[in-house]
Amino acid sequence: MKKIFIVLFLALIASKAWAAVGDYIQVDNLKYKILTEATSSTAGTLSVYGLSDTGKAKTSLALNVPYVVSYNNKVYHVKEIVGSSFVNNSAITSLYLRYGIESIGSAAFNNCTNLATVHLPSTVTSVGASAFDYCSKLLIVDFCTMAGNVTCGSKAFPSNSSSILYCPKGADKAAIKKTTLGSFFSTVSLASSACDITLSNGAQLAVTKVPATGNRECAIIGYTKANDGLFKPSSNFTLTNYGMSFSIKSIATNAFYGNSELVEVDFSNLQNIDTIKGETFVACTNLTKATLSSPTINSLVFQNTPKLETIVYGYGVKTVGTVIKDCESLKTIEFSQTVDNISNCFFDNCPAVTQIKVASNSPYFYNYSKSGTSAMYKTEGKQLFKVVPTAETIEWDPSCLSIAHQAFANGNIKEILIPYGVKEIGYSAISKCSKLTTLLIPSSSTLISSNAFFQLSGLQNLYYNFEKPLMAQGSTGCWEEVNNKNLYLPYGKPSYYKGLYGSWWSEFDSYNSNGMVAYDYHEVAGANNNYYYTI
């Protein structure tokens, strides 16, 4: 009978399985208390109560507090750090709380004298009084909060003249500084290290919105190297053990600023992002290729990326602003058929660009067959939109009616024979082209914008087929800092232009030299010959 009783007693203990509500369990370095029981389909919940026997045996400890804990074949989620759990602990050197943990109790880490860095997720909304007080070495806190909406007790963090609070890129730094949380720190700054989640593909994410139903919304705030520098995130992902699903909705301003680990970016799988904001890839020193898919890409996205060779504005992109500057190795820019709005100066000071490729099925822009990818045209208005800076000459679309603002700006073009039929020449359209030696302006032109021809220091021959100078539209003249060499005019007109005393037109070295006169240039579509004729 006694044996039966012992067996039943042991069976009863075994059935409890160390997992009843109120029990304490030890996993790795931590001791937990069970708040709610786990089932086969639902995670239980835990509180952290301090170090386990294993943790107490360590003389130096980088403490990682997980959100997901597996025990006895069941899954639990950590909800809180109980007050005074780690008080007076001198072994802990760093603390990392995972996304999902919600609160830190009073004096939880009080007088942890060697604690130097702390990482807190956005799910932490309460930090108790004196939670980190007397942590004399604590100078850096990464806290993934966008606005600093955290309840902090008195002396929650030590007051230190050198302490820095890092919040995620895209956060409102000025607003955080004014909060109770911000008041504990001498400096509030933004960094990608202050993230909620780091995925295996390298994405550093901050959760920006937790809706009542549906996926949690995230912003990409940075990247840490994975897959040899290839970064290709997807719009949606699920953390199964967390019981949470997420959607990437935005990319923070400065998200990858100064990142040297990015080699290639492919955002073609990001379908939920509306806008890529300014300075996203500035100073990414090893980035070689970027494929973007956001409908709107504005402000300065690429600058000082010395190895960048290719930018692809993929399917879904509609608007491209002034986004590329000082990318010395950039060779190819590609536009998908969805791009319908491009800034005239979508790249600046990128001297190596040799190709601007437009999707053959684009209704908005096109490459003329003879000029290929060295120039792009805008379908509406038959406008020459942009010429690559490496082009020395250009084959014109005979149907061209206008030249866009800054179309040739800062290029190596040597000869420009604008065909008859072009009526409008935009602002700074042919400017800062120091190697340009020959320029022909047809009599069909009716509007020349201000600074249309600016800083043409190498110009030798100007063919200007007008009875009288065509006045510039705008606040300044169209001819500024242009070399006064040989001016070719219609028959009988040199004397008129010479008589414009005090004007730029009267100061050329020669007029109609060697009997040459101004002419119009015209290329017949489909023909092999160019026709020159005077009017």
User: Looking at residue 14, what is its pLDDT?
Assistant: 47
**Structure-token pair, residue 183:** 């008041």
Task: Provide the Cα torsion 321, 325, 327, 330; round to 10°.
Answer: 30
Higher pLDDT, 389 or 529: 389
**Helix ranges, 219-375 (H):** none
- Indicate whether 59 pLDDT > 70: yes
500 close to 469: Cβ distance less than 8 angstroms? yes
* Averaged pLDDT for residues 489-516: 87
Q: Is 208 left (phi over 0), alpha (psi -120 to 50) or beta?
A: alpha
- Model confidence over 281-293: pLDDT tens digits? 999 999 999 999 9
pTM flag (> 0.85): yes
CB count within 10 Å of CB 250 equals 22
- Model confidence over 8-17: pLDDT tens digits? 444 444 445 4
Q: How far apart are CA 381 and CA 402, in angstroms?
A: 7
User: In what side-by-side order are the strands of the sheet with 486-488?
Assistant: 415-417, 438-441, 461-464, 486-488, 510-511
Among 11-20, 205-214, 495-504, the range of highest mean pLDDT:
205-214
**Structure-token pair, residue 479:** 């001819």
Bridge partner list, 95: 63, 118
Bridge partner list, 231: 265
Bridge partner list, 319: 296, 341
**Structure-token pair, residue 509:** 């070295």
Of the pLDDT bands very low, low, confident and very high (cuts 50, 70, 90), residue 274 is confident
Secondary structure letter of residue 398 according to DSSP: T
168 close to 192: Cβ distance less than 8 angstroms? yes
Q: SS3 letters for 500-515?
A: CCCCHHHHCCEECHHH
**Structure-token pair, residue 31:** 């001791």
- Indicate whether 362 pLDDT > 70: yes
150 close to 122: Cβ distance less than 8 angstroms? no
Of the pLDDT bands very low, low, confident and very high (cuts 50, 70, 90), residue 27 is very high
Q: Is 283 left (phi over 0), alpha (psi -120 to 50) or beta?
A: left
- Indicate whether 475 pLDDT > 70: no
**Helix ranges, 154-214 (H):** 173-177, 180-183
Residue 8: which H helix or E strand, with range? helix 2-16
User: Looking at residue 131, what is its pLDDT?
Assistant: 98
Higher pLDDT, 516 or 197: 197
Q: What is the mean pLDDT of the chain?
A: 91
* Cα atoms found within 13 Å of the Cα of residue 202, Cβ hemisphere only: 21
- Model confidence over 128-176: pLDDT tens digits? 999 999 999 999 999 999 999 999 999 999 987 789 999 999 999 999 9
Secondary structure letter of residue 225 according to DSSP: -
DSSP E strands, 326-452:
332-335, 341-342, 347-348, 355-358, 365-366, 375-378, 383-387, 402-403, 415-417, 424-425, 430-431, 438-441, 447-449
User: Looking at residue 535, what is its pLDDT?
Assistant: 45
- From residue 72, alpha-carbon distances to 9, 25, 49, 54, 77 in Å are 20, 10, 19, 18, 14
* Cα atoms found within 13 Å of the Cα of residue 359, Cβ hemisphere only: 16
Closest residue by Cα to residue 381 from 430, 422, 416:
422
Q: Which single residue is written with the structure tokens 């989640």?
A: 197
- Indicate whether 113 pLDDT > 50: yes
- Model confidence over 210-247: pLDDT tens digits? 999 999 999 999 999 877 889 999 999 999 889 999 99
**Helix ranges, 396-449 (H):** none
* Averaged pLDDT for residues 331-342: 97
323 close to 298: Cβ distance less than 8 angstroms? yes
User: Looking at residue 527, what is its pLDDT?
Assistant: 47
User: Looking at residue 363, what is its pLDDT?
Assistant: 98
Q: Is 70 left (phi over 0), alpha (psi -120 to 50) or beta?
A: beta
User: Looking at residue 2, what is its pLDDT?
Assistant: 53
Q: How far apart are CA 384 and CA 412, in angstroms?
A: 17
User: Looking at residue 528, what is its pLDDT?
Assistant: 47
- Indicate whether 534 pLDDT > 70: no
User: Looking at residue 477, what is its pLDDT?
Assistant: 67
- Indicate whether 526 pLDDT > 70: no
For 290, phi then psi, to 5°, come to -135, 130
**Structure-token pair, residue 257:** 């600023």
SS3 label, residue 497: helix
Residue 197: which H helix or E strand, with range? strand 197-198
